[in-house]
Structure 1
C-alpha cells in the first residue's frame, strides 16, 4: 500500500521518487510509479500544475483558454489511454470529444476544404480537387495502417524497430522530409496545402530531413481521432492524473522551483528548491524540466548531460493570440469546426524563410485556429466562444524592435488575416503572447519553444527528443518534452521513463502497463 512521503527528523521531505515538473509527462511518470507502489513527491515551479497542459482565464472571467496545448491527439494511441492502463477514462473522470470535422481549411477563393474523421469522406472531399490525389491519399493511409503505424508505435516507445520490411520502410520514410513526401505524392495545390499544413502540427520545419513520417502519422491520427478535445480544457488531463496520484498517496508541491540536484558518492540523493527546501529521494529523481537546464543544477556535469545541453536548440518558437468571442466561428454554409488551418504551401515556405531571418511574414502563413467551445460548452458563457491563433515567430527580431512593442501589431495582422477567411470572427477581449511571453509562462519553454525544441547532433542528425531516459548519474532519470519522442501531448516520454525506472529498480513494469 502506498504511503505519503514523510518528513524526516531534520525536517526534509523524503520519498522513494522525486519528480521535478508537473507537466503531463512528469505526472504520467509519477502516476505509473505510484500505482507500482512507490512513494512519490512531485515538485512544480509554477503555482498551478500542468505545465503546457493547463487551462486558464486569460481574457475574461468565464472564458477558459488552453494556454499552450489544445489538441490531445497523439496521446490517444498511447496505451495509457488506448488500453486505459491507469483508469484515467474509466475511473478518474477524463473525457474527450473526438470531433468531425477533424479540421477545416478555409481557402482564399472562398471554398473550404474539410478533413473528416473518416477516410472515405475525406477522400471524397479531396477528389473535388483531384481524383488522383484522393487515390494517393488512400494509398498513404493504407500504407500507414497496414504496417508503418505498428513500427511507429515501437519508435514512440523507444524500442528497437527491428529489420522487418515495414521497419525498413518506416526508417526510410522517417529519413526524408515531409515536404518532399507531400510534393512527390500529391499534385493539386489544395491537397498539398492540407498535407503541408498537417505536417507542421508538431511545430517542426517540414522541409527538414527526419520529418518524412509526419504527413502519414498526423493525417492518420486526425482521421482516427478528429481534433481530440479534452472536456473542461487541456488541464483536464493533469487534473485526472492528480486525482489518481492523491488516491495513491503521492504529494504535489507547487511553487517549488528546483535549483540544485544533489549527488553524493556518485548517486543522486535529492533536490533543493530556490526557497531552500530539500527533498530527499531514496530511490530516484526524475527531471521533466528542459534537459538543457539540468547541467546548471549540478555541481559536476557529466559528459552525457553536457552533450545534451550543447546539442539542444529551441527550434521553432511560437506566437499565440487568445480571444473571448461574442459567438463561435462559422465557416462555409454555416459549418462549425473546433480547428481550422490557414496557409498555403508557398506561404508556409515564405514564413519559414522569414523566421530564420528573424522576420515575420503574414501573406499566407501557417496558422492554427482553435475554437473549442464549439464542442465544449464549459469553455465560455452561453452563446459566447473561446478562440486561439497559434503560429511561429522568431525569438529575436531582425529589426531589433522588442516584442513587447511589436506583438500588438503582429497579433492584429493575424486576426485581420483570419477575418478575411472567417468573417464571423468577433472578439470581445484579446490577449497576445509573443515567444517571450510563452517562455515567461512556463520555465520549460526556453526560447519560446513549447514543443521541446530539438537536438543538433555532431553527426548532423536532428532529434526531436533526447534518446536516453537514464543518465550517467545512477538514480537520475529524464522525461518531458525534451525526451524521446519529443513534444506535443503524447504522454510517451512519461510512460517510457516510468517503464525504464521500474526496470532499473527491479520492479516489473507489467504490473502497471502492457508490453507495447
Structure 2
C-alpha cells in the first residue's frame, strides 16, 4: 500500500515516468510512481517471444539510452544497463545483388562511453558510397565535417532542452545562420524526399535516407520533417553515430532505472491505476486511485500519460478552453504504425550481396528494397494506407543476437523485422486479423529476394504485431503509432503536441506537468521529454540544476 502523501506523484510508469522519478527523488522530493500495468517501463519492455529462450523487444528496440543524461547521472551501468557497440551501423541491400554498408565514424568505449573518431571507418564508408557515386561520397565527407564540428553538439542541446519561445532561435535554428558549418534554412520546410533528392544524386542513398526517416520518426518521405528529424536521420543514415545494442534487451533500461530509483528511496506501485487528479483552488492536490484511495501530492503531480488521457480522463474537459480541447482532438496520430516483431531462426540470412561486401548482414539496421526513390516518394505511403501493404516492400532487419547472446539459445538467432503499416482506423478488426496472419509469409517472401536461405524451413517461430495490437497494449499509442503523435514539423518543438501545452506545464494548474512522448522531443526511449520536463520543474521550484553540477551546458 502507498503512503497517504508524497512530495511528488508520477501518474504512469513508462520510461519517461521512471526517468523523471529518478531526477525528482535525487532532488530531495519524496516521489511515488503509480502504474496500471503489472510492471514499469511502458515501451521500454521485452518478453520471451516468439518462444521461451528468445528475447523480443515488443515495443522500443533502437534505444541509444547510453546517450541520455540519465545514463551517467544515475550510473545506470552499475545497475546493469550495458551496451554493445558494433563497428557498423546502417546498411541496405538491393535486388540486383548490390549493397551499401555504413561503418560508424565514432567508436564507443563500452566501459567509459567515450567516443573516438575512426578514420579507418570513415574511409570504408567513403569507399562504399564512391562505388555508386563519387559526388555522394564527397557529400558524405562534407556533412560529416559539419556534423562533427557543429551539428552534433547542437542536436544534443536541442534534444535535451525545453523548446525556446517563439521568436527565440533554438540550437538547430541557430545553425541556419552559420555561413560555414550551417544547415541550409530551406531544410526547415522541405519534405523528406525533397531533402533526399537535394543532398544525394544516387538512388541508393536517396532511398536509404527516406526509409531511415520512417524508422527513426515514423514520418513518410512526403512529410515536412524539420531540422530535428533531418539532423537525427542524417547522422544514422550515413553512420556518423555508432550503433548500440542494449545487452539483455530493452527491458534492461527499465530495470536499471527502477533499481536506481529504489536505491534513492523512491517508491512505485504497479497494478495501481490513477482514476483522477484531485484539483483544489487551481492546484493539483493529489490523485484518486481506481480503488477509491486518495493520495496527497504536497508539491506536484506529473503525468507520464499522453495529452488526451491527461486532460480528458485525469482532469476533465471543463479544465480547458474549447479551443484547446479542439486542438487536442486534432493532434495527428496517423504516423509510425508498423508491422513489427521477431523471427526465431536456425541460421542467419545469407545475402547475395555478400559477394560484393562480406560484411553485409552485420548491420544492426539493415534495409532491403529497390532503388526506386520515385516509388518511395509518391506511392509507398498511398499503397500502405489503401491496401494495407506496400507493392514494393522496404523491410528493416535487426539481427541483435549476433552480438547479444542472451537474446537466443546457443546456435540460434532472433531477428527483428519492421515494415510500415496504415493507421488503425483505416481497416476493420477483421481486416487487421487477416493482415496479421498474412504479414509473416509476405515478409519471408520479400526476404528471400535478398537472402535465398530465408525459407519457412529456416524459421523456428515468429511473433509479428500490427497497429491493432499496439493500440490494445498502449492506450497512448493512438492509431497504433509508436511516437504518440506524428513527428511532423507542425507537431514538433514548440508546437508539440499543440502550442498551448508545449511547455510541459498544465497552464491552468500551478503544479501539474506532462512528461510523456507526446511532448518535445518526441517518441523514442532516449529522447528528452521527461528530462526537459524536469528542467521546467527545477525552474518553477528552484531545485538544484544537476546538469550544472555534472558540467553539462544542458
- 1:182 partnered with 2:196: yes
TM-aligned CA distance change 1:481 to 1:284, over 3 Å = same
Moved more, 373-382 or 210-219: 210-219
- 1:454 partnered with 2:472: no
Q: 2:477 aligns with which of 430, 445, 454?
A: 445
Q: d(CA) in 2 for partners of 1:165 and 1:403?
A: 45
**Aligned ranges 1:359-374 → 2 under 5 Å:** 359-374=387-402
Q: d(CA) in 2 for partners of 1:440 and 1:290?
A: 15
- 1:496 partnered with 2:516: no
Q: d(CA) in 2 for partners of 1:256 and 1:68?
A: 22
Moved more, 206-215 or 19-28: 206-215
Question: Any conservation in 2 of the 1:54–1:68 contact (CA below 8 Å)?
Answer: yes
Q: CA deviation at 1:399?
A: 8.0
Q: CA deviation at 1:22?
A: 1.8
- 1:393 partnered with 2:421: yes
Question: Any conservation in 1 of the 2:91–2:101 contact (CA below 8 Å)?
Answer: yes
Q: What residue ranges of structure 1 are gaps of 5+ in the alignment?
A: 9-13
TM-aligned CA distance change 1:40 to 1:167, over 3 Å = farther
> What is the aligned-residue RMSD (CA, Å)?
2.5
Moved more, 157-166 or 24-33: 157-166
**Aligned ranges 1:131-210 → 2 under 5 Å:** 131-156=134-159, 157-160=161-164, 161=169, 166-168=175-177, 169-170=182-183, 172-200=186-214, 201-210=216-225
TM-aligned CA distance change 1:136 to 1:93, over 3 Å = same
Q: d(CA) in 1 for partners of 2:202 and 2:95?
A: 15
Question: Any conservation in 1 of the 2:340–2:418 contact (CA below 8 Å)?
Answer: yes
Q: d(CA) in 2 for partners of 1:494 and 1:193?
A: 33
**Aligned ranges 1:48-67 → 2 under 5 Å:** 48-67=39-58
Question: Any conservation in 2 of the 1:104–1:113 contact (CA below 8 Å)?
Answer: yes
Q: d(CA) in 2 for partners of 1:352 and 1:52?
A: 25
Offset from partner CA, 1:430-460 (integer Å, 9 cap, x none):
123111101112222221011122388xxx9
- 1:115 partnered with 2:102: yes
- 1:381 partnered with 2:432: no
TM-aligned CA distance change 1:242 to 1:417, over 3 Å = same
- Look up the SS of the partner of 1:33 in the other structure: helix
Cross-structure match for 2:243: 227
Offset from partner CA, 1:43-77 (integer Å, 9 cap, x none):
2221121111111112111111000111123x444
Aligned residue pairs, count: 499
Cross-structure match for 1:11: none
Q: What residue ranges of structure 2 are gaps of 5+ in the alignment?
A: 106-121
Q: 2:232 aligns with which of 210, 214, 217?
A: 217
Q: 2:366 aligns with which of 328, 340, 346?
A: 340
Question: Any conservation in 1 of the 2:11–2:274 contact (CA below 8 Å)?
Answer: yes
Q: 1:106 aligns with which of 70, 93, 97?
A: 93
Question: Any conservation in 2 of the 1:342–1:368 contact (CA below 8 Å)?
Answer: yes
Question: Any conservation in 2 of the 1:182–1:195 contact (CA below 8 Å)?
Answer: yes
Question: Any conservation in 1 of the 2:219–2:225 contact (CA below 8 Å)?
Answer: no
- Look up the SS of the partner of 1:198 in the other structure: helix
- Look up the SS of the partner of 2:79 in the other structure: coil
Question: Any conservation in 2 of the 1:258–1:273 contact (CA below 8 Å)?
Answer: yes
- 1:32 partnered with 2:23: yes
Q: CA deviation at 1:463?
A: 2.7
Q: d(CA) in 2 for partners of 1:362 and 1:51?
A: 29
TM-score normalised by the chain length of structure 1: 0.89
Q: d(CA) in 1 for partners of 2:163 and 2:451?
A: 44
- Look up the SS of the partner of 2:433 in the other structure: helix
- Look up the SS of the partner of 1:312 in the other structure: coil
Q: CA deviation at 1:39?
A: 0.9
Offset from partner CA, 1:356-388 (integer Å, 9 cap, x none):
4x3233332332212211110001110111122
